Structure 1
Amino acid sequence: MKVQKQTRSPRRQVDGVLLLDKHAGLTSNAALQTARRLLNAAKAGHTGTLDPMATGLLPLTFGEATKFSQMLLDADKEYEATVQLGVETDTGDAEGAVVATTRLPAAISREAILSVLPSFTGEIEQIPPIYSALKRAGKPLYEYARAGIEVEIEPRRITIHALELLDWNGSAFRIRVACSKGTYIRTLGMDLGRALGCGAHLSALRRTRIGPFNVTDAVSVAVLEATEPAQRDRFVASADTLVRHLAAVELGESDAGALMQGRVIRVDPAICGLVRVYEAANSRFLGLAQCMDGRLAAKRLVATTGSVQPE
């Protein structure tokens, strides 16, 4: 009996952004590949990872939108984290091996927690965890950790914009953290535990916001899977979604064509800085351009995109 070989339909061009609400236990890459398969997209990327234990907002980019991923990598973020007191792990979260246990001091209370939060607010120095993807001499730090090699890690300047106590149950507390890029919430949890005299690790972490995007607008893998394939594109926002915070410039057909060919365009001298550019006749997003002294030069252009309406 001859077995018929199944043929996979060719990947299609999908240009846009999908806000995914990642569930626990899923790596960011696995989430990306699942979404890519469900959308049958040719090209995909993400705008910063979440640890497998963590849940929440994971923006995924497809096609031409991948060119603007850096916008979210540099954006401020917001998290809700549960800090379990009395136990430290080598990774700073519940997935790591226990390295120290401490009896909780009787003095720990809601008031005690509130008293240490201000010292971790504002611009502070933070030492990244050894179990991280940061590189030293071309190798990720986690490779040194797994090999049992000790390396010196330089502290980095980060900013904690807001640090709010949400809940306290006697052995663990939940906080909301609004922070700059490069902040490790695992490290923050450990440092808070040490400040309270008992050590700590994260038992739960959820990312709720990146830049202008909120997890309330995100879709889960389960919902994406339950949606008819022909309807899944409705969850994908246009490629210019990542740059909506920039001023918009509309060009006529002739100038739009010239810009796409790499020529410098004359525009109103009042326009300056990095801008998003559209072809006025059809509201077609062309990409980003830099404007200075009335001269508009292409910065990052898209090859193909759908029709979007500039703000």
Structure 2
Amino acid sequence: MDGFLNLNKPMDFTSHDCVAKLRRLLNTRRIGHAGTLDPTATGVLPIAIGRATRLLQFLRSDKAYRATIRFGVTTTTDDLEGEILNQQPVPDLDLAKVKTALKHFQGTIQQVPPIYSAIQVDGKRLYDLARSGKAVEVPSRTVEVSDIKIVGWQPGDFPELEIDIACGGGTYIRAIARDLGIALHTFGTLTNLIRTKSSGFDLENSLTLDQLEEQLQQNAFRPILPDEVLDHLEEIALSPILAKRWCQGQRIAPYDLPDFTTSRAPLRIHTEAGTFLGIGQLTDPPTGTILTARIVFLDSAKA
């Protein structure tokens, strides 16, 4: 079984928990995921099965979330999973002030990830360092937030803001909640997070673990084919002879290609009949430009 699964991750499951359960359900060790989700977050967790695990690196990096932020509260983890550090009512905070502050969180921004995160510093996970009580300086990073839309606003002593966020990989929504609170001269923490899109998958077409089990019992589950999630990559179709040569690791000269391209980005390689062969790339060794194989997905005997 080779392909992808668009999993709707349940609450209180780590991404590793999901992989472990899927290994049992699908009866294979070759399971991987793209884009870790916090245990309290739900929504899209892209899963690769079998040989598709080698293709995870080529998925889209864009993501989208629906998040709820509570003001007047801050915690050790920047969400409700941690211990409360500060709690101060802010009944005068209104939506107009929030809208003004949100403008500074769109585009290319600098962000310091939460101390409780999977980022490594000196070879160790930040959350392991935090749990051990070791103080560590977390380096800031550049992230892209392409869009923020306000979905709802609940005023009160601890007002709550619901937003839709579209962003690039590596963006921490918990950090946005924390920093938005600081920008408004109060505190902010994330109370709910649903990932609605990730790596070409969306929430509307996702499967829960229960739905997957039901499909497996009915022998109705079919993995998502690589082509359906790698269509952002430029495509090159090879003749039967060239396809067999490419799958065997032989180099192909550009003048042999029916669809010449100057791109040096990863390319989807197909047969003329549309069968996905893998991922290739044009390179420029001293002997001249050639098409090489980065990932061969299909056995050469089947090409």
TM-score, structure 1 length as denominator? Answer: 0.87
Answer yes or no: is the 8 Å Cα contact 1:86–1:198 preserved in 2: yes
Aligned equivalent of 2:33 = 46
Aligned equivalent of 1:287 = 278
* Distance in structure 2 (CA, Å) of the matches to 1:147 and 1:216: 40
Aligned equivalent of 2:296 = 301
Residues 182-224 of structure 1: CA deviation (Å, up to 9, x unaligned): 1100010011112122201111000001143211111111111
Alignment of 1:133-282 (within 5 A): 133-170=118-155, 171-234=159-222, 236-266=223-253, 267-268=257-258, 270-273=260-263, 274-281=266-273
* Distance in structure 1 (CA, Å) of the matches to 2:178 and 2:193: 13
Q: Which runs of 5+ in 1 are unaligned?
A: 1-13
Asked if residue 109 in structure 1 is aligned to residue 109 in structure 2, the reply is no
Over 3 Å counting, the alpha-carbon distance change for 1:48 and 1:304 in structure 2 is: farther
* Distance in structure 2 (CA, Å) of the matches to 1:71 and 1:279: 19
- Aligned-pair identity (%): 35
Over 3 Å counting, the alpha-carbon distance change for 1:42 and 1:144 in structure 2 is: closer
Residues 72-119 of structure 1: CA deviation (Å, up to 9, x unaligned): 3x611110100011110000111101111122152x111111111101
* Distance in structure 1 (CA, Å) of the matches to 2:278 and 2:70: 45
Q: 3-state SS of the aligned residue for 1:117?
A: helix
Answer yes or no: is the 8 Å Cα contact 2:247–2:298 preserved in 1: no
Q: 3-state SS of the aligned residue for 1:104?
A: coil
Asked if residue 83 in structure 1 is aligned to residue 75 in structure 2, the reply is no
Q: 3-state SS of the aligned residue for 1:257?
A: helix
Answer yes or no: is the 8 Å Cα contact 2:236–2:259 preserved in 1: no
Q: Displacement of 1:269 after TM fit?
A: 7.2
Answer yes or no: is the 8 Å Cα contact 1:64–1:304 preserved in 2: no
Answer yes or no: is the 8 Å Cα contact 2:62–2:167 preserved in 1: yes
Residues 255-296 of structure 1: CA deviation (Å, up to 9, x unaligned): 111111211113247323332112225x33110111367632
Answer yes or no: is the 8 Å Cα contact 2:215–2:221 preserved in 1: no
Q: CA RMSD in A?
A: 2.1
